[in-house]
Chain A
Amino acid sequence: MILNGKVPEGPINEKWDRHRQHLKLIAPANRRKFTIIVVGTGLAGASAAATLGELGYNVEAFCYQDSARRAHSIAAQGGINAAKNYPNDGDSIYRLFYDTIKGGDFRSREANVYRLAQVSVNIIDQCVAQGVPFARDYAGYLDNRSFGGAQLSRTFYARGQTGQQLLLGAYQALSRQVHLGKVRLHPRTEMLDLVVIDGEAKGIVVRDLVSGKIEAYSGDAVCLCTGGYGNVFYLSTNAMGCNVTATYRAYKKGAFFANPCFTQIHPTCIPVSGDYQSKLTLMSESLRNDGRIWVPLKKADNRHPNDIPEEERDYYLERKYPSFGNLAPRDIASRAAKEVCDEGRGVGPGGLGVYLDFADAINRLGESVIRQRYGNLFEMYERITGEDAYKQPMRIYPAVHYTMGGLWVDYNIESNLPGLFVLGEANFSDHGANRLGASALMQGLADGYFIIPYTIADYLARTNVKRPSIEHSEFKRSQEEVQNNIKRLLSIKGRKTVNEFHRELGRIMWDHVGMARSEASLKDALKMIPEIREEFWKNVIVPGSGEELNQEIEKAGRVADFLEFAELMAIDALHRNESCGCHFRVEYQMPDGEAKRDDDNYCYVAAWQYRGPEKAPELHKEPLTFENVKLAIRSYK
């Protein structure tokens, strides 16, 4: 099937305005007749739930954490992009659009990205009005910094905690709607299935994580704002609870999963220190504004970094990409780090690390300026490694961070299942094959504050499928399935823990479906994943019962889904016979080692349809057309 992204007609800068003219409305007095389910309370979910509540809809909002304020958007550090051009350094909506398209290696939908750049300016206004304490200069104006893949400063920030402050802004707006009775919050509640009635998404089945009760909620529409699936790699910068379950269960109910192999490996994370490691910690990309990345020129140089003289250091990003230098995009910086480590020039335990050095910046600006800019990051680094980055360079290494793939959505951010809207990282639409820094926050809030309120009204006005009663047989069936799945997991009583399986899966994914992939490695993965999945269902041990707070059953359900989803990722990576952005197939590279795209054959979105257990998924394509930018070889040299 050829998928239609429903991109409106007209010049790109008028598409969104024109489209809004044609979208149907719901009158204020009628909005209270509709109930909207919002799953996830990160930037996308909280902003959507708050805004829909303000408009007068009834909102049921769900999150697995104990409070909506803890969703993982909170951990985003560096900043949020917006084409405000406050620094007068040449920014414009078009340029943010172009940088994002190019950063994504020409694998995103032009019209969505342009709209994102357009509403970026509204986001900053909205956040300031909410009281988000962005950094300011001495005249009281907002300050900006630079991020990777851009040659100007368009990133707004709140110290090293921009995600936290934006999320708290959205959480506060959400809290206000809770107080006003328009939003009902369900914390410690995890979505375990999507309910589809007459082909449209009309409800969800959840597990109350405290009582263990399986409950059903019906709505006129469902918004999934459930983030990414980076934890399929076990070790990632995601929170421990981040999972693919909500989107994967929607996939099993008929929603298409787009570009699952597009996973971003972030170049600046604290390296792994041992087998017990439970997660990886990001060091914000903003550090690359002032830090210089290098490795020793010589292999296996064990000297203390401060003892290695200048002429024996290789500032490889500055050498290879002189015009972007240390601010090369994430996929390129990550691959370059892997390359020098593969050459045997890596530093730290196991040689899996490179230096991020602030000595020059401290000499130039003084320690206090650096402390002011990045103090909390240096502190975090010290907590984890026991090293003082003011005195010696940080050691960093790439780690799984963000997933550009997600459920397929059209221009209205609606999936192929009518009534199912997908927002933020959970959808696939805006970042192509690689996301630029400070763009995730922008997209989450754009979807929640400024897009969903318009497009969901249009759906509600058009649909003929009424909100069902939770007594409907589909709800009963779904609840039973969920219940049986839990019973089955508890009944295995094997010998290996959920974590052991998850770790094993993660190793396979990192080694075979990670930073560099080949036909052989992917085929190996496709052999190994079903094997450990089979073993999981025979040999996993899940203690306790389903009728209580049981963190192991929560994890077991998530890992069971990862074990299926991992296969879909490998299938997608194997089918895409090109390198683009984060997806690097070693067979397809330029003579200088850069990614070699194949626009003749792969300039499309790969959207996969579930065909049943143990059956191969079916591929559908949405061709990508570029009318406003020229398909070019991405160069940051």
Chain B
Amino acid sequence: MDLTLFVWRQRDKDSEGRFEEYKAIDISPDMSFLEMLDVVNERLIKEGKEPIAFDHDCREGICGMCSQVINGIPHGPQQKTTVCQLHMRHFKDGDTIYIEPWRARAFPVIKDLIVDRSALDRIIQAGGYISVHTGGVPDANAILIPKPDADVAMDAAECIGCGACVAACPNGSAMLFTAAKVTHLAMLPQGRVEAARRVCLMTEQMLKEGFGNCTNHYECQAACPKGIKVSLIAKLNREFIKAQFKNK
């Protein structure tokens, strides 16, 4: 099939960006979206033009590196799917596709479709862990965890840190991302010890980075390639409020 692409091109973070039009010719429905872009890039290189820069790595939906807004939707039209797992069979011959980078105040564009998501790393660095040293820990089966709790922890821990939730949110909020880590660790007995401190430090960092607040649009849940639920944001709020009493 043949497609028309409008792709966001931007030299660097200080330059102004714009959409540019490209043709994607002879695309197989079995290609992944990124393989389609590979084809376009190969042609651009041969024509002596600069290829489109985009982040990608594992191409199996788990590393969280790929990050494109396709026709206005982070990661594109297929639910619970990263761009790299989106296949061209979901498009039709003759379609026009708009491709943009993640857009959020906390994610400055580095080049074309590549943005700087280090703010998410700094939220984890602020407290998204259990402060355990290597060695000297109890036997793994000494810590029993009810299966339902372990399952909720795992549901939350599935977050791949891609930032689609931020890109989808009208407020550019990272609440779903932060909530996922807070919930994962707060559900486990070994994580409870620091739960109050953790939620305060992570929330504080989140605000410092320029992420907005949650006003219940639920766009994050719709965009999340791992199907992480907004109910975790309620959990984050609950943990945060509990922590206020504890810290006082």
Interface positions of A (Cβ within 8 A of B): 47, 50-51, 54, 65-70, 72, 74-75, 84, 86, 122, 124-131, 133-142, 158-159, 161, 164-165, 168, 171-173, 175-176, 178-179, 185, 187, 210, 239-241, 273-274, 276-279, 281-282, 379-380, 383-384, 386, 449-450, 453, 495, 497, 499-500, 541, 543-544, 548-549, 551-552
Q: A138-B147, A172-B130 given as contacts; is B141 within 8 A of A240 (CB)?
A: no
- Which residues of chain A are near B116, meaning CB under 8 Å? 66
- Which residues of chain B are near A66, meaning CB under 8 Å? 55, 65, 114, 116-118
Q: In the complex the two chains form, is A543's CB within 8 Å of B118's CB?
A: no
Contact of A239 among B34, B51, B58, B143 (CB under 8 A): B58
Contact of A131 among B42, B110, B146, B185 (CB under 8 A): B185
Q: Can you add 6 more A-B contacts, CB < 8 Å, to A65-B57, A276-B35, A500-B42?
A: A47-B134, A54-B134, A129-B138, A279-B59, A380-B60, A549-B111
Q: In the complex the two chains form, is B157's CB within 8 Å of A278's CB?
A: no
Contact of B87 among A172, A383, A495, A544 (CB under 8 A): A383
Contact of B190 among A74, A129, A549, A552 (CB under 8 A): A129
Q: A67-B118, A69-B121 given as contacts; is B65 within 8 A of A380 (CB)?
A: no
Q: In the complex the two chains form, is B110's CB within 8 Å of A278's CB?
A: no
- Which residues of chain B are near A72, meaning CB under 8 Å? 57-58, 63
CA of A551 to CA of B133, assembled, Å: 38
Q: In angstroms, how far is the closest chain B Cβ from the Cβ of A612?
A: 33
Q: In the complex the two chains form, is B147's CB within 8 Å of A130's CB?
A: no
CA of A127 to CA of B191, assembled, Å: 12
CA of A124 to CA of B30, assembled, Å: 40
CA of A288 to CA of B64, assembled, Å: 27
Contact of A74 among B62, B85, B141 (CB under 8 A): B62
Q: In the complex the two chains form, is B132's CB within 8 Å of A130's CB?
A: yes
Q: In angstroms, how far is the closest chain A Cβ from the Cβ of B89?
A: 6
Q: Does B170 belong to the interface (CB within 8 Å)?
A: no
CA of A513 to CA of B143, assembled, Å: 48
- Which residues of chain B are near A240, meaning CB under 8 Å? 56-59
Binary per-residue interface labels of chain B (121-155) against chain A in the complex, 1 for a CB within 8 Å, 0 otherwise: 10011111111111101111101111100100110
Contact of B63 among A70, A139, A383, A500 (CB under 8 A): A70
Q: A278-B59, A541-B46, A544-B50 given as contacts; is B28 within 8 A of A126 (CB)?
A: no
Q: Does B219 belong to the interface (CB within 8 Å)?
A: no
Q: In the complex the two chains form, is B42's CB within 8 Å of A277's CB?
A: no
Q: In the complex the two chains form, is B117's CB within 8 Å of A84's CB?
A: no
- Which residues of chain A are near B135, meaning CB under 8 Å? 122, 126, 449-450
Q: A67-B120, A67-B121, A126-B135 given as contacts; is B129 within 8 A of A175 (CB)?
A: yes
Contact of B118 among A130, A139, A187, A273 (CB under 8 A): A187
Interface-centre pick from B61, B124, B128, B146 (highest chain A CB count, 10 A): B124
Q: In the complex the two chains form, is A168's CB within 8 Å of B64's CB?
A: no
Interface-centre pick from A75, A133, A282 (highest chain B CB count, 10 A): A133
Contact of A84 among B61, B64, B140 (CB under 8 A): B140
- Which residues of chain B are near A161, meaning CB under 8 Å? 62, 158
**Chain B residue with Cβ nearest A177:** B125
The 9 closest A-B pairs by CB, nearest first: A140-B144, A172-B129, A129-B137, A133-B154, A128-B140, A70-B63, A239-B57, A133-B153, A175-B125
Q: In the complex the two chains form, is B61's CB within 8 Å of A450's CB?
A: no
Q: In angstroms, how far is the closest chain A Cβ from the Cβ of B151?
A: 8
Q: List 26 A-B pairs, Cβ < 8 Å.
A: A50-B134, A66-B114, A67-B64, A70-B58, A70-B64, A70-B161, A74-B63, A125-B140, A129-B143, A130-B132, A130-B190, A131-B184, A131-B191, A137-B147, A138-B147, A139-B144, A140-B146, A164-B62, A172-B130, A178-B125, A185-B121, A239-B63, A380-B61, A384-B32, A450-B135, A543-B49
Q: In the complex the two chains form, is B60's CB within 8 Å of A281's CB?
A: yes
**Chain B residue with Cβ nearest A76:** B62
Q: Does B20 belong to the interface (CB within 8 Å)?
A: no
CA of A67 to CA of B56, assembled, Å: 12
CA of A543 to CA of B133, assembled, Å: 47
Binary per-residue interface labels of chain B (37-55) against chain A in the complex, 1 for a CB within 8 Å, 0 otherwise: 0110010011011110101
Q: In the complex the two chains form, is A69's CB within 8 Å of B161's CB?
A: yes
